[in-house]
Chains A and B, each alone.
Chain A
């Protein structure tokens, strides 16, 4: 029997090796290409500002923004930490709420029918319009801001996890039934693993949204709150016509958003790269 299988094994050993990451040249290009674009934009921006003598209180050049970023770092950095904390809390709550509610919905169709419409209502109501109300009714500004960010971040996780939990292959479900699997075993060994890629997709969206939610809520809370998050700093800089600091704050926010996206992308890859089509590199 071994002899009949030898050719198959030999032919396959190449793909059994863990499919490693993209070749070095490819990885370099992936970093180089966006860097070149960034350089071009920065240089163009600086040139436009200098050639046209645009005053810094209208449009500061990148060099000025960079200097401001360094100089006001002691102010901006603690504020950034606060904003990140708000976004993180909101995201954690969104994961708990979204996955929890998705699990409840998958347990009973009636729970889904009863609750899902309200999740949609939460999703479609613009957070800027509910934020002032929330700020009135919730005493603690931090809690209020986290709540606003949660509202924005929670729906993609709920919707994606629900879709994932319902997506288990029908033949596999039959298999579990055939072997008398309990509901709990079905959930742990079939539904949750099936839902994982969907959940991670939702998480990537929710990660960015939690930051956006935090920023919007801070804007609405404005100076009324005790908030000293990054969005509040940007707003404050605007009042003081400190345009370079506004840019510095916005730059930090954008970089934070990119970092969140990259972190969840890496997490996704880590969890899925051995088996899921989305993360497995194609062999040609």
Chain B
């Protein structure tokens, strides 16, 4: 099956944004680093199956930390996380805030890595890796080394690497921040297509109000010091979303609401 056109077995209720079965639940989660920094305190967050949740908040409010906790890459210092534990390998895809590529490996080998770690041979990986690279528009750069790519291209390689295992939970930390407007909009649409076609759950960290409203079924606004959730806004807009949605009054109204919440989070 191709990455973009797999049939969805699920009837999606995009307008509602609330889905019955939570996939990940963070209960009163706190994270204090060894140096005493309180990154998160009393964070409550439930992420339902097949939701598209954006985490929005000012720099340093603990978005990356929350994402790492969900992925199981860090442990909470208080509270608990009921997570996608026991999920098979490759079921969680993670896009780090930095590209995080192997500098000694070509673009192809970097995207092959998650499959390789599961014992997929290079030949078996040709198809999936090719598709993932085509998705992010880098098919011709398979043989290049990371240092020969621009910042945005490296980021796209890292997105392809997260997609190649077709994860059921995709965690993305500002994946499009380094990209130009046009590429970003195109990748936004590609991501939405994928999410709608596959039965994915996405947690998406961003700084952009517009991006979060366009993509999400829910926008979670966080405030800093200590990091916590201050607003949880369902984005009740119809699917599919496209250019027309982006220019609609409904979209503008939603952006204004989210923006106001963000201002409150930063100002208070």
Contact = CB atoms under 8 A, between A and B. Distances in A.
Q: Are A and B a genuine interacting pair, yes or no?
A: yes
A172 B100 contact: yes
A276 interface: yes
Nearest to B138: A5
Interface in A4-21: 4-5, 8-9, 12, 15-16
Interface residues of A, number: 29
A2 B113 CA distance: 26
B145 A179 contact: no
A4 B182 contact: yes
A181 B71 CA distance: 15
A16 B113 contact: no
A189 interface: yes
A175 interface: yes
B267 to A, nearest CB: 32
Contacts of B90: 179
A108 interface: no
Contacts of A180: 89, 117-118
Interface stretch (B5-13, B24-32, B146-154, B234-242): B146-154
Interface residues of B, number: 36
B94 interface: yes
B144 to A, nearest CB: 6
Given A1-B186, A2-B137, A171 B96 contact: yes
B150 A12 contact: yes
B102 A5 contact: no
Nearest to B119: A185
Given A1-B137, A12-B148, A193 B104 contact: yes
Nearest to B149: A12
Given A8-B153, A16-B148, A274-B145, 19 more contacts: A4-B137, A4-B186, A5-B137, A8-B150, A12-B149, A15-B148, A16-B141, A16-B144, A169-B100, A174-B71, A174-B96, A175-B94, A175-B100, A178-B94, A179-B114, A181-B117, A189-B116, A193-B105, A196-B104
